[in-house]
Amino acid sequence: MAPKKKIAVMTSGGDSPGMNPAVRAVVRMTIHMGCDAYCVYEGYEGLVQGGDFIRKMEWDDVRGWLSEGGTLIGTARCMAFYERPGRLTAAKNMILSDIDALIICGGDGSLTGADKFRSEWPSLLEELVGNGELTAAQVKPHQHLNIVGLVGSIDNDLTGTDATIGCYSALARICEMVDYIEATASSHSRAFVIEVMGRHCGWLALMAGVATGADFVFIPERPREHDWKEDMADVVRRHRKLGKRKTIVIVAEGARDKNGTKITAEEIKKLLADKSEGGLALDTRITTLGHVQRGGTAVAYDRMLATLQGVEAVKAVLDATPETETPFIAINENKIVRKPLMQAVAETKKLAEAVDSKDFEKAMSLRDSEFEDQWNSYILTTNVMMGDKILPEQDRMKIGFINVGAPAGGMNAAVRAAVAYCVSRGHEPIAIHNGFAGFSRHHGDDPLGSVRTFDWLEVDGWASKGGSEIGTNRELPGESGMESIANLIEEYRLDALFLVGGFEAFHSISQMRKARDQYPSLCIPMTLLPATISNNVPGTEYSLGSDTCLNELVNYCDKIKQSASATRRRVFVIETQGGRSGYIATLSGLDVGASAVYIPEEGISLEMLNADVNHLKNVFKNDKGQSRAGRLILVNEKASKVYNAKLIADIIREEAHDRFESRESIPGHVQQGGVPSPMDRCRAVRLAIKCIQHLETFGTNAHNHVKKDPNSTTVIGIQGSEVVFTPMKELEETGTDWPNRRPKVAHWMALSEVVNILGGRPDYPKPE
């Protein structure tokens, strides 16, 4: 039998939320794969110091780490590691501890150091043997250093990955602060300049601008082409003229002008507050967010990212051969991938150099496509009424906006962005209130009617609003009356329909598509932007609102878990929403470390409950009181017709024979969330604009050719690493499990296995 591999993990550079979940995943996956897990404490400093800084880890050592902020194994900036003698000592310590592989979670600096270490490795061994510090026999089993990188950084500054571990948590902190500031800014009609982190990378500033609908943002990669002072004054003046009572400017700490000169918050403030003739004369304050951006527990997305990347890193270590190029684990849209580390580090360096040498085109090209997309979205939605993007009269469309189904976080942000885009192009965005029910019951010229043209100022404050401002309804067009809907489309001379909603919205487009033969006025292009917490719309792996819901569930579960810290021996059975899709139950199980997750796709059997109860008995038997909190089981509301959360909790309590306790807990509508998460808001903006751009391709008076074009009824979705429009017909016929109201293939099913592995759940008999 091959000797057990010893895999070490360390965190390095600036701490970021999600580092602990990454360490937990690496440690547990390593043990699951039959290897020994080690942690190197205090980053490279621990590697250089050796001894007690390199410690073996057991399964229970990382319990509860999903919800801990910062890094529990410490991090440090280590000067010694920059120099070869430091790296020589580090190599010696690795060999003395018999470590075969090192997984490093850190920023570009840490990963550069890692790559240097690996490339020097053979010569370091030679030197250690040559100078007598180690013997040839000691170094023989360690000829190849196996390294894998995990990108942990709040800045999201490494090229090649859409997100780094921690960036969405930092963004959440920033947006929360900006939301607070907006309330006071609006009350006093003030301007605020908010400085956020990002020396070379403007991701945080840009995304915060997109998510909050800030008036102006400054990022290092893309200075304004004209004089920024004039540009900013123009935009702010225009927004104030339209009636805005607040002005928010977000500036990345590394922002520069086109000449490469740093732009400071102080300078911006001076301009906004300028009381001289023609000046803006706004009461202006500066808020520098500083270290709060790093703080706190990781958001749901970062926990998922860290966990999946940790698992993938261990797999990459075990797959590696001496010839394998050092990888890092990246995410592109929704797909976890291995990529060459050195290339990413080299491109990140090039990017910083491009910014320094004022080659901003190159800098932008080195960022991921999503970054440029978001920049364009931002410009389009804030620079409305500039007139430079406006279409000729005959190409301007009348586009109906409708929300269908239950409210979901990001619906309003999507409507806001799409309205702003329409206005910038000269289209007429029409609000249809209260779904198809509201539409069909609308009559004539009612001044308070449910159909009217949107006003930009009205929607401008919707970026961070939860719920659905135009109202939503579950009724399908077939129930509301297809004929009256067809007539209204004709009466209002709508050229296209933009739907935002969940499975009912999907079903609605399907019904309208099928009714086109009977009602020719339904032959207009229609597209759906999926928005539902259940994330069960065919054609996409992600629906708006699902991230907000996961964050609500994660917060809820963290609190519940902690509430058991006094009694300790308690299992909570938490019922989640999600209809017949186990997505949110599984993902929240992944994010909070559930002992078991019950989902409709699998069902629940007595054997399964039996196995899980026995597992819990074992866990509590072996727990000598070291665990600080309770255990969680998540059960989807439709996982079983009989075994609901209460019954499962009762069964566990009965079987526990007073050795531990059990309670059920139902968060209910809390799961829809209050303020939508920044991810939902940012994706809403980007996808909504793509939807209107897609509808635009059909132009006005498209009735004749639309009917035959499968792309005239579509769903926009994130599939793997791409954003795609899929024709409804294709999805209806091959992609939809209609009785269960979900896609035929659940893209996330493989994650169930990860939840079970990392939760230590034993193999259980699956129901037939």
**Which residues does the annotation mark as catalytic?**
155
In this complex, which beta carbon is closest to ligand ATP, that of residue 112 or of residue 586? 112
Q: How near is the Cβ of 111 to ligand ATP at its closest, in Å?
A: 7
Q: How near is the Cβ of 685 to ligand ATP at its closest, in Å?
A: 26
Among 20, 30, 93, 112, interactor with ligand ATP by CB under 6 A: 112
Q: How near is the Cβ of 104 to ligand ATP at its closest, in Å?
A: 9
The answer to whether 12 contacts ligand ATP (rule: CB under 6 A) is yes
The answer to whether 209 contacts ligand ATP (rule: CB under 6 A) is no
Distance CA 637, CA 575 (A): 6
Whole-number Cα distances in Å, 331 to 57, 676, 722, 733 = 27, 22, 12, 31
What helix, strand, coil percent values describe the chain, rounded to 5?
45, 15, 35
Q: How near is the Cβ of 40 to ligand ATP at its closest, in Å?
A: 12
Three-state SS string across 465-515, please? Answer: CCCCCCCEECCCHHHHCHHHHHHHHHHCCCCEEEEEECHHHHHHHHHHHHC
Amino acid code (one letter) for 671: Q
In this complex, which beta carbon is closest to ligand ATP, that of residue 74 or of residue 107? 107
The answer to whether 468 contacts ligand ATP (rule: CB under 6 A) is no
Distance CA 590, CA 29 (A): 13
- Binding track, positions 16-55, relative to ligand ATP; x by CB under 6 A: ----------------------------x-----------
What DSSP letter does each residue of 677-714 carry, written as one string? PHHHHHHHHHHHHHHHHHHHTT-SS-HHHHTT-GGGEE
Distance CA 626, CA 183 (A): 44
Distance CA 361, CA 222 (A): 8
Distance CA 620, CA 139 (A): 43
The answer to whether 558 contacts ligand ATP (rule: CB under 6 A) is no
Q: Where are the alpha helices (DSSP H) in 358-472?
A: 360-366, 369-382, 411-425, 435-440, 456-460
Applying CB under 6 A, which part among 64-72, 110-118, 586-594, 713-721 lies near ligand ATP?
110-118
In this complex, which beta carbon is closest to ligand ATP, that of residue 77 or of residue 389? 77
Quick check: 604 and 639 in contact, CB under 8 A? yes
Applying CB under 6 A, which part among 107-115, 138-146, 648-656, 760-768 lies near ligand ATP?
107-115
Strand partners, 248: 192
In this complex, which beta carbon is closest to ligand ATP, that of residue 199 or of residue 703? 199
Among 5, 7, 14, 540, interactor with ligand ATP by CB under 6 A: 14
Among 18, 46, 106, 327, interactor with ligand ATP by CB under 6 A: 106
Distance CA 156, CA 202 (A): 9
What DSSP letter does each residue of 263-326 carry, written as one string? --HHHHHHHHH--STT-----EEEEE-GGGGG-SPPPHHHHHHHHHHHHHHHHHHHH--TTSPP
Quick check: 217 and 174 in contact, CB under 8 A? no
The answer to whether 107 contacts ligand ATP (rule: CB under 6 A) is yes
CA angle 506, 508, 509 (to 5 degrees): 70
Q: Give the strand pairing for 428-432 and 451-453.
A: antiparallel
Q: How near is the Cβ of 199 to ligand ATP at its closest, in Å?
A: 8
Applying CB under 6 A, which part among 112-120, 471-479, 538-546, 654-662 lies near ligand ATP?
112-120
Q: Which helix or strand (DSSP H or E) is residue 195 part of? A: strand 191-196
In this complex, which beta carbon is closest to ligand ATP, that of residue 107 or of residue 254? 107
Applying CB under 6 A, which part among 11-19, 130-138, 499-507, 571-579 lies near ligand ATP?
11-19
Hey, which residues between 389 and 448 contact ligand ATP (CB under 6 A)?
none
**Residue (of 465, 479, 402) closest to 434 by Cα position:** 402
The answer to whether 82 contacts ligand ATP (rule: CB under 6 A) is yes
Q: How near is the Cβ of 116 to ligand ATP at its closest, in Å?
A: 5
Among 5, 8, 9, 13, interactor with ligand ATP by CB under 6 A: 13
Distance CA 148, CA 144 (A): 13
The answer to whether 539 contacts ligand ATP (rule: CB under 6 A) is no
**Residue (of 290, 291, 308) closest to 300 by Cα position:** 308
Among 20, 110, 293, 374, interactor with ligand ATP by CB under 6 A: 110
Tell me the residue number closest to ligand ATP, measured at CB.
109
Q: How near is the Cβ of 55 to ligand ATP at its closest, in Å?
A: 20
Q: Which helix or strand (DSSP H or E) is residue 548 part of? A: helix 546-563
The answer to whether 108 contacts ligand ATP (rule: CB under 6 A) is yes
In this complex, which beta carbon is closest to ligand ATP, that of residue 82 or of residue 519? 82
Distance CA 506, CA 519 (A): 19
Applying CB under 6 A, which part among 102-110, 231-239, 517-525, 682-690 lies near ligand ATP?
102-110
- Binding track, positions 60-79, relative to ligand ATP; x by CB under 6 A: -----------------xx-
Q: How near is the Cβ of 233 to ligand ATP at its closest, in Å?
A: 34
Q: How near is the Cβ of 12 to ligand ATP at its closest, in Å?
A: 5
Distance CA 649, CA 639 (A): 15
Q: How near is the Cβ of 288 to ligand ATP at its closest, in Å?
A: 18
Strand partners, 36: 6
Applying CB under 6 A, which part among 12-20, 341-349, 408-416, 448-456 lies near ligand ATP?
12-20
In this complex, which beta carbon is closest to ligand ATP, that of residue 55 or of residue 77? 77
Q: How near is the Cβ of 621 to ligand ATP at its closest, in Å?
A: 42
Among 32, 98, 109, 245, interactor with ligand ATP by CB under 6 A: 109
Angle between the 300-319 and 749-759 helix axes, to the nearest 10 degrees?
A: 80
Number of chain residues interacting with ligand ATP (CB under 6 A):
18
Hey, which residues between 155 and 194 contact ligand ATP (CB under 6 A)?
155
Distance CA 169, CA 154 (A): 8
The answer to whether 90 contacts ligand ATP (rule: CB under 6 A) is no
**Residue (of 634, 629, 621, 626) closest to 660 by Cα position:** 621
In this complex, which beta carbon is closest to ligand ATP, that of residue 77 or of residue 270? 77
Quick check: 550 and 587 in contact, CB under 8 A? yes
Distance CA 266, CA 274 (A): 12
The answer to whether 672 contacts ligand ATP (rule: CB under 6 A) is no
Applying CB under 6 A, which part among 8-16, 541-549, 661-669, 753-761 lies near ligand ATP?
8-16
Three-state SS string across 4-56, please? Answer: CCEEEEEECCCCCCCHHHHHHHHHHHHHHCCCEEEEECCHHHHHHHCHHHEEE
The answer to whether 81 contacts ligand ATP (rule: CB under 6 A) is yes
Give the number of C-alpha atoms closer than 13 A to the C-alpha of residue 482, restricted to the C-beta side: 16
Among 50, 60, 61, 116, interactor with ligand ATP by CB under 6 A: 116
Distance CA 537, CA 90 (A): 51
Amino acid code (one letter) for 123: S
Applying CB under 6 A, which part among 9-17, 382-390, 557-565, 566-574 lies near ligand ATP?
9-17
In this complex, which beta carbon is closest to ligand ATP, that of residue 88 or of residue 594? 88
Q: How near is the Cβ of 653 to ligand ATP at its closest, in Å?
A: 46
**Residue (of 414, 415, 461, 452) closest to 431 by Cα position:** 452
Q: How near is the Cβ of 109 to ligand ATP at its closest, in Å?
A: 2
Among 17, 46, 70, 113, interactor with ligand ATP by CB under 6 A: 113
Residues of this chain that interact with ligand ATP (CB under 6 A) are 12-14, 44, 77-78, 81-82, 106-110, 112-113, 116, 153, 155
